Amino acid sequence: MKSVIASVAFAAATVLGGAALAEETVRLTMSSSHPTAVAWVGALKTHVVDNANSELEKMGSDYRIEWTEAFGGSLYNFQDTLEAVQDGLTDMGWVGALWEPSKMPLQNIMFATPFVTSDTVLAVDVMNELNDTIPEMQEEWDRYNLVFLGATVSDTYHLFTTFPIASLSDLEGKRIVGASSLGPWMEGTGAVPVAGGLPTFYQQIQTGVADGAIIIPTGAYSLKLHEVAPHITLVDMGVTTVGGLAVNKDTWESLPEDVKTVLTKLGREYSTVHAEEVLARYDGSMQKMAEEGATIVEMPAADRQQWVESLGNLSKDWVASVEAKGLPAKEILSTYMDAMREGGAEPLRQWDKEL
């Protein structure tokens, strides 16, 4: 397989007043399995791609990046985001760790701790800190030939269904599609989890494979999911970090230091920029779906509390599974929950206290 796509080549020399001004071109491909309508993908273009060369110019670098953009699954689907960057099919792009619970269990810590926070910026800040300071977190990227630049986050999760939900009991026997990492969140509801990825949800519901989805509103609106699942029940299960922007390690090591510096800066900024964009898009998405015929109701507080309490001990199961791999999961969970509380989160369950 091809491991390095980027190349550094002499591009041009312009003579002005006898002085030769040369620029070196670095060719890079930025990709995603999802379309730019999804906030964490759109910001790959609007913040990283669109600002890279101006940042290089500001620092006085002779290098410029010639970008190839491959969004919306034009190179690979949602199941191959890790492998595509790992193997050099693309130089860099969004890696969906939520579909890699076995390969990247530490990156999926928030899927073992629902109902902790709806603050997207806090979520990426905490995950970036963990990846910066915990060697085992860094190793999850390194072992797959990846260089991590910044965490990505979703908005809070709700239910989109083909049927109205008046109480939690209405979910009994219904097939609810979601990322595989979300399956345990359906415990105690009586619903049947169905695995899928955002690009597949519409067809799965339209064809009757699923009766609804557990999904983020910004993603649901971008995919027009409310057309086939017009009943939206606000559950507010919390935000999750869903992976991150990563670069193929072989590509990274071939890059000039100026380019590395700029991509490192933009990658971390991208993490915050898209998290803020997620919050901004959330209200707009909900309003537009209501205007387009969706019925939006809040799950009764008693049913939401029943849901929270009916969940299994997800964090304990996660710790046992991850520590079986020789990783310090209990310590990482404690660090994570402390960071969340210190950041202002008010978890509905204190997952680190249930081990």
105-118 confidence digits (pLDDT tens): 999 999 999 999 99
**Band of the pLDDT at 22, cuts 50, 70, 90?**
low
Same domain, 136 and 203: no
Low-confidence winner among 15-19, 43-47, 144-148, 214-218 (lowest mean pLDDT): 15-19
Residue 63 covered by a domain: yes
Q: Any idea what DSSP says for residue 189?
A: T
Report the alpha-carbon angle 79-81-84, nearest 5: 115
Residue 109 covered by a domain: no
Same domain, 307 and 324: yes
Same domain, 138 and 89: yes
Which of 282, 311, 336 marks a domain boundary?
282
Q: Residue 27's domain spans which residues?
A: 8-100+114-153+242-282
Residue 246 covered by a domain: yes
Same domain, 184 and 318: yes
Over residues 294-323, the mean pLDDT reads: 94
* CATH code where residue 342 lies: 3.40.190.170
Same domain, 13 and 134: yes
Residue 105 covered by a domain: no
**Integer Cα distance of 172 and 86 in angstroms:** 40
Q: How many CB atoms sit inside 10 A of residue 350's CB?
A: 12
What is the reported pTM? 0.85
The pairing of strands 92-96 and 8-16 is unpaired
Same domain, 149 and 165: no
Burial annotation 30-66 (CB, 10 A radius, 16+ → b, else e): bbbbbbbebbbbbbbbebbbebbbebbeeeebebbbe
Which of 226, 256, 282 marks a domain boundary?
282
Same domain, 94 and 139: yes
Same domain, 272 and 181: no
**Band of the pLDDT at 2, cuts 50, 70, 90?**
very low
- Residue 18's pLDDT is what? 36
Residue 106 covered by a domain: no
Same domain, 299 and 334: yes
**Domains: count for the chain:** 2
- Residue 50's pLDDT is what? 98
Residue 335 covered by a domain: yes
Same domain, 94 and 61: yes
Residue 276 covered by a domain: yes
**Which residues, 6 or more positions from 257, have their beta carbon under 8 angstroms from its beta carbon?**
none
Q: What is the mean pLDDT of the chain?
A: 92
Q: For residue range 93-107, what is the model confidence (pLDDT) as tens digits? A: 999 998 899 999 999
Same domain, 210 and 314: yes
Same domain, 170 and 272: no
Question: Which tokens hold the place of 212?
Answer: 């609804």
Reduce the DSSP state of residue 256 to 3 states and report it. Answer: coil
**Integer Cα distance of 191 and 18 in angstroms:** 74
